[in-house]
Chains A and B, each alone.
Chain A
């Protein structure tokens, strides 16, 4: 693909040799990490932070699911239950899902994939992490000080006037973290525009870059509106300025409009990057160019644009005008089209491929299946009359978990496994990884599928006590959650294990296309010895495999399989 062949050969160094100079061994001091401007090190900082928040958010969810195994309130107090599901939502959305792929994989990969030395603004990038951490500290403070019970949606006037919990500290935390999101998005947009390697035209870009770019647009345009909404809640809470509470002359529906103007597009901040990851993994494990490259790429932009036009579908039962409901329902169906394009193209990419089922591919195929189910139930909730029935029930909970966990988290884990060797220079144990990918898939479905049924039966979300007839399905869901928890625990363990005991990785263990695979693993601080020049299309697996076959005509092409 590039003129990288003059690079040192990707030989595996003998254990007694000193390790090659790379971004990880370029300084071991705390200072060298906390003051780094290397995008790869910042990605590692984010990896640690989002994993920390994922564990806290997951812990909160575990207690919630455990409590819901019985219809009565017998594990925690109702006040605590409400704080737990709020903590779960706030942390998972704002401190895990939104920064996960963009800030970890995006930070690590965007410069590598486009053949750049770093992001356009390395210091700004470090600042983004500090802002994120500061916002996180406020939120942790709110949790430790006693929690917040408004739900992650902060609906006014409950949040602005009635709740006696730590709404302000949490809102300040999210407000601050928003700036990190904006700066990261800005950094990516500038980098992708200005720092692509010679010859790397827009239509030669990896699809991960397309989706990261689309995500960045949403981050830059949407996040300020969230900041404003939370700021106004704060103003009403502190200064009693009437904005949302009718008792002060405000309008509670206004908050919902403002909040969802950001928070609906935010769903695509979570899932678009995952779509990008899947669009990298599937071609590699099929050994062919993805079907409909341009359609997958442009559909990311279509999703980003449409995502700003559909917020009102969260307000079908709120008292928003029925005519507005009509418009938002129609616009919501527009999002279905680019989503369908992607799913069909990924599936068609398998056709005539040479498919292997390594862990990243298992996650990618799992993503396609679960995203399909999440997306198709989106048709239910966009249909006005059906939404009236399922709104604020477990049907909605199931729907968005299929998108955010079945979609975004599967993509994130697939990406972490796919690029783990590049990030750490080590291979993870393939057997354990496949096992946990399957556990996560099974656990996920057992957790969330029963919730669709519960929701149509009418069980409202955010219920601590519920009628007895819903218990069987709730127990199934909680049982699934325990399998899911085990599934998540495995990667945490074996990935850490692999840092010390994993096999040393070559520069390109998957024989994958893309510039990031043509530098060593882990990459040197400057990424590339010399700036690569791109002469070919992306995903030119036919040429890669032909060249490999020419070098080693006897090898059947599976000798490099992982682990």
Chain B
């Protein structure tokens, strides 16, 4: 059960949460200090210099002081630089998944969250994750913009149609936590909620093993690859000469006809299936038809998993947080 008692401060359940809270408390200190300072000055001056008080000295020695102005420009500026640096540092670490994170695929639609674990196990509106160890969410929307928000983890990321977005977390407490859609997505936006259930690693494995057997995404992708007749051109090693080889493609740089070089990440592969003409590999013709509308987001994820499985298992470098290739 989610702990639903009244509280004034959210639970901390990820490695990121206490770091964000520390900055939050620092900001709270700054805000309280200046609010109290201004309020106290207003009250003090209001009493001391009220019109009825004729006993007070009102002679103004100097009307304006440049030095005073300088002080209240420079002090806030120094504080701002500090807060900016601190916030930026945490932002980068919050959106940069560490290497070797457990990757869970998320497809959002009006109004549900669909999850798929690496072994192929699927669930809706409930996400089971292991305690300790980084979990990376690779997310895409089927329709409008949604936003993945787990308050206890202090993470949030918009889930866009047409491109993958990432976020990651490392849970530090077992239990159940709220999962919200934070970006307004239509009528039942407020019902597009769910739970994140953090389990001990052994329990997570047991949970994965339970229930129906699942087809791993790479295998489902391989089946789909044949059903869609992709193999007609994309034969092993690219021997037809009509298309570049898919082996060892994933996460490697690709040179395009316009001279640009892009990395063959999830976003690039998805685009190359849906809009093949958008980024054509140098030395090839844009002859591949579009599969836009013919494959679902889940099937696209399977196809990408298959292409990924064709690459040699190398240590994946920490990828940039959702930047378009």
Contact = CB atoms under 8 A, between A and B. Distances in A.
A253 B324 CA distance: 12
B5 A460 contact: no
Interface string B178-189: 101111111111
Contact of B34 (A78, A291, A376, A384): A376
Interface string B206-232: 000000000000000000000000000
A317 B23 contact: no
B50 A246 contact: no
Interface size class on chain B is 35 or more
Q: Which of A368, A385, A386 has the most CB of B within 10 A?
A: A385
A149 B42 contact: no
Given A384-B88, A392-B182, A354 B161 contact: no
B38 A369 contact: yes
Contacts of B87: 329, 382-387
A350 B49 contact: yes
Interface in B1-38: 2, 4-10, 19-20, 23-24, 27, 30-31, 34-35, 38
Contacts of B91: 316, 322, 325-326, 329, 384-385, 388
Contacts of B322: 319, 322
Closest 9 CB pairs of A and B: A458-B151, A246-B162, A383-B87, A385-B90, A384-B91, A350-B45, A463-B190, A333-B80, A376-B31
B165 A380 contact: no
Q: Does more than half of chain A's interface fall in helix, strand or loop, or is it mixed?
A: helix
Interface string B140-152: 0001110101011
A477 B118 CA distance: 44
Contacts of B2: 467
B183 A392 contact: yes
A500 interface: no
Contacts of A289: 63
Interface string A131-163: 000000000000000000111010101100111
13 contacts: A157-B145, A162-B186, A252-B162, A286-B49, A317-B182, A345-B69, A380-B27, A385-B23, A385-B88, A385-B89, A386-B23, A458-B151, A467-B4
Contacts of A249: 275
A356 interface: yes
Contacts of B161: 157, 245-247, 252
A151 B31 contact: no
Interface stretch (A4-12, A336-344, A406-414): A336-344
B55 interface: no
B58 interface: yes
A464 interface: yes
A516 B236 CA distance: 85
Contacts of B10: 456-458
A149 to B, nearest CB: 7
Nearest to B191: A465
Nearest to A291: B64
B294 interface: no
Given A325-B91, A355-B45, A252 B38 contact: no
Nearest to B110: A162
A388 B94 contact: yes
Interface string A454-476: 00111011111111110010000
A460 B155 contact: no
A465 B88 CA distance: 33
A321 interface: yes
Nearest to B181: A460
Contacts of A31: none
A245 B152 CA distance: 32
Interface string A214-252: 000000000000000000000000000000011101011
B68 interface: yes
A125 to B, nearest CB: 36
Contacts of B275: 249
Nearest to A157: B144
A267 to B, nearest CB: 18
Given A82-B187, A252-B162, A368-B42, A453 B147 contact: no
Q: Which of B9, B59, B72, B92 has the most CB of A within 10 A?
A: B72
A424 B310 CA distance: 80
Nearest to B17: A389
Interface string A247-290: 10101110000000000000000000000000000000011110
B27 A357 contact: no
A462 B186 CA distance: 10
Interface of B: 2, 4-10, 19-20, 23-24, 27, 30-31, 34-35, 38-39, 41-42, 45-46, 49-51, 57-60, 63-64, 68-69, 72-73, 76-77, 79-81, 83-84, 86-92, 94-95, 110, 143-145, 147, 149, 151-152, 154-158, 160-163, 165, 178, 180-191, 275, 292, 320-324
A94 interface: no
A205 interface: no
A356 B27 contact: no
Given A292-B69, A322-B322, A356-B50, 14 more contacts: A153-B184, A162-B144, A286-B49, A322-B320, A322-B321, A337-B73, A355-B50, A356-B51, A382-B87, A384-B90, A385-B19, A392-B156, A462-B190, A464-B190
A355 B49 contact: yes
Interface in A337-393: 337, 340-341, 343-345, 347-348, 350-357, 365, 368-369, 372-373, 376-377, 379-380, 382-389, 391-393
Nearest to A371: B38
B42 A365 contact: yes
B51 A158 contact: no
Contacts of B64: 291-295
A388 B41 contact: no
B156 A389 contact: yes
Given A329-B84, A385-B20, A322 B323 contact: yes
Contacts of A149: 186-187
B182 A391 contact: yes
B42 A383 contact: no
A558 interface: yes
Contact of B6 (A330, A368, A369, A472): A472
Contact of A388 (B8, B77, B156): B156
Contact of B24 (A292, A365, A386): A386
Nearest to B95: A322
A466 B181 CA distance: 12
A460 B80 CA distance: 27
A536 interface: no
